[in-house]
Amino acid sequence: MDLQTMTYLVVGASFALYIGIAIWARAGSTSEFYAAGGSVHPITNGMATAADWMSAASFISMAGLIANMGYGGGLFLMGWTGGYVLLAMLLAPYLRKFGKFTVPQFIGDRFYSQTASTVAVICLLTASITYIIGQMTGVGVAFSRFLGVSSDTGIYIGMGIVFAYAVFGGMKGITYTQVAQYIVLILAYTVPAIFISLQLTGNPIPQLGLGSSIAGTDISLLQKLDQVVTDLGFGQYTTSVPGSTLNMFVYTMSLMIGTAGLPHVIMRFFTVAKVSDARSSAGWALVFIALLYTTAPAVGAMAKLNLHGTVNTAVGLETAADGSMKVNADVVKAKADVYAAEASLEYDKRPEWMKRWEKTGLLKFEDKNGDGRIQYYNDKTKSADAKAKAEAAGWKGNELTVNADIIVLANPEIALLPNWVIALVAAGGLAAALSTAAGLLMAISAAVSHDLVKGVFMPNISEKNELLAGKISMAVAIVIAGYLGLNPPGFAAGTVALAFGIAAGSLFPAIMMGIFSKKMNKEGAIAGMLAGLAVVLFYVFAHKGIFFIKGTDFVDMIGGPNSFFGITPEAFGAIGALVNFAVAFVVDKMTKEPPEHIQHMVENVRIPRGAKAVDGAH
């Protein structure tokens, strides 16, 4: 069976499964719509949480980021996984003990203020909408390559699928659909990794294959990868750290506390029956997440080696008898400073996988010197003399651009794996994007219908009408998400790290102070959230050139890109959190303490005994 037909069958079957589950598990009450009735088994909830958490960023982009960044890409593993541990240990059990449906509802009740709840809704919507752009983009990428349709058409199809199971099923339908999506995505991620690890090292366990020797040689996989990339003028894969060490630390911290503050993940812990189940489901989720996250470094490294090998072994670099790579002198035209080598490939002889991915625009060739060949090498130079020598030899710049987002999706094709494996990867990428998109839409819907409509505008609304409002807000959120996926704003396109920064700077400190500081009052919490959100957004927009003063780009006025001690905009969430905490405590000291009954409530929440039923009324 040809690849296209196999892909249609596998992806179509997965979509039919999701819709069938949604019909079976459709929500009939607000409790089922917002919290799946509060009766989900811990193992089931752990698997659903893992699917909700492992987005298109985890499935599609993370291994690509690690492949491009090398050692420095470990910050995504440490940040995202560490953040989940932080959430599971410090937040989830206490929030479950509180017994609410949503994060803004917790903040509104804890800080005895409708204004605090509304500010939390604003923070939630800002983070969730920014995050969902990446998911819809991931849906477009997967559809455009594997189903032979445009990226825009893929987003429309994704919107339809999410609408079918999220609007009618609510959290109940989403929960059981996410269980199926987890099974699909984890198989899609690990099966190709096992195949490729066997091919390269003879070891079927990718985590062990990463540290093993290349099959038939005494050269380790990582040693060979270091040799390949350095021969092309790049830094060593195993030691490269992009940016400063401070930025790496702050970036990791931002991802950690941003993870702990993401409302769509927190909501999952409201679906279990009691506090002990919340703790148990958090543990199970970590097990399920670890299956993918411990595989990602191996996938990234092996994909990098396979990708370079496609070009290098054509004519650019030769493999010596000892397994190391050496430069073919007939191909190399310039060799100075970082222009250590040039890999070359005749355009007409490029492999089929390159032709297929070229159609998506995520892999691009540009024959800058018109010689009919595609040169691929480090495009940076340390000196004008090196550049002059390279240009004299015919160099006009690197001619191959590979988007990091295709690394996981293209890896099985590069390795010439069976068609059913390639089709499974397509289904897995779509499952990852759709599962997280559904969770984000649920968080948005609950914030609008439960926290704004019921909490602010129509407090006496009936349960039936609130359920209807929830479904309508979900449908509207899907339309907005689709529009932003089709027309992503410049400050957010291509990254979900900004969403983590927003959550880190605004929601995480408020939740932490709400649980662990019984003296924190509403004025402090509100001021802190607004300050943290404003600082993060200001820094992001400033670095994207959105602020202008008298015709001068604001970036120039604050010292150029990444001027604040070299910290990138995506890593600024941790700084926003510090501002949030500082402002909150200063304002708190200047205003009166919370009422006595609020302080008793906070103490009661921190006592890990018993649990209230999740009916949204307590």
Q: Domains of the chain: which residue ranges?
A: 27-214+223-302+416-606
Q: Please check whether residue 303 is in contact with residue 212, taking contact to mean a CB–CB distance below 8 angstroms.
A: no
Which residue shows structure tokens 């605090």? 116
Residue 408 burial (10 A CB sphere; 0-12, 13-18, 19+):
buried
Cα torsion 376, 379, 384, 386 to 10°: value is -30
The mean-pLDDT minimum among 79-88, 123-132, 550-559 falls in 550-559
Task: Provide the 10 A C-beta neighbour count for residue 9.
Answer: 14
- Average the pLDDT over 151-162 and give the result: 83
- Average the pLDDT over 331-355 and give the result: 52
Chain centroid to CA 561: 24
Token duo for residue 423: 């089709």
CA dist 436 and 145 (Å) reads: 21
CA dist 74 and 331 (Å) reads: 34
CA dist 322 and 331 (Å) reads: 21
Query: Where residue 22 falls among pLDDT bands split at 50, 70, 90?
Result: confident
DSSP state of 572: T
Ranked by mean pLDDT, the top range of 350-354, 358-362, 414-418 is 414-418
Token duo for residue 184: 């699909």
CA dist 223 and 236 (Å) reads: 9
- Average the pLDDT over 317-322 and give the result: 38
- Average the pLDDT over 399-416 and give the result: 76
Model confidence at 316: pLDDT above 50: no
CA dist 76 and 16 (Å) reads: 33
Which residue shows structure tokens 């397994």? 323
DSSP code string of 211-246: TSBPTTSSSBHHHHHHHHHHHTTPPPTTT---S-HH
Q: Is 337 left (phi over 0), alpha (psi -120 to 50) or beta?
A: left
Q: So what's the pLDDT on residue 492?
A: 43
Q: So what's the pLDDT on residue 257?
A: 93
Model confidence at 320: pLDDT above 50: no
Q: So what's the pLDDT on residue 325?
A: 35
Q: Please check whether residue 246 is in contact with residue 568, taking contact to mean a CB–CB distance below 8 angstroms.
A: no
- Average the pLDDT over 430-455 and give the result: 84
Q: So what's the pLDDT on residue 393?
A: 60
Q: So what's the pLDDT on residue 394?
A: 66
DSSP state of 595: P
Q: Which CATH superfamily is domain 27-214+223-302+416-606 in?
A: Sodium/glucose cotransporter (1.20.1730.10)
Tell me the sheet residues that pair with 327: 317
- Average the pLDDT over 573-602 and give the result: 94
Model confidence at 328: pLDDT above 80: no
Token duo for residue 194: 């096992």
Model confidence at 560: pLDDT above 70: no
Chain centroid to CA 348: 36
Model confidence at 100: pLDDT above 80: no
CA dist 363 and 359 (Å) reads: 8
Query: Where residue 336 falls among pLDDT bands split at 50, 70, 90?
Result: very low
Q: So what's the pLDDT on residue 335?
A: 35
CA dist 546 and 180 (Å) reads: 42
Distances from the Cα of 413 to the Cαs of 59, 222, 238, 355, in angstroms? 16, 22, 25, 11
Query: Where residue 331 falls among pLDDT bands split at 50, 70, 90?
Result: very low
- Average the pLDDT over 73-89 and give the result: 85
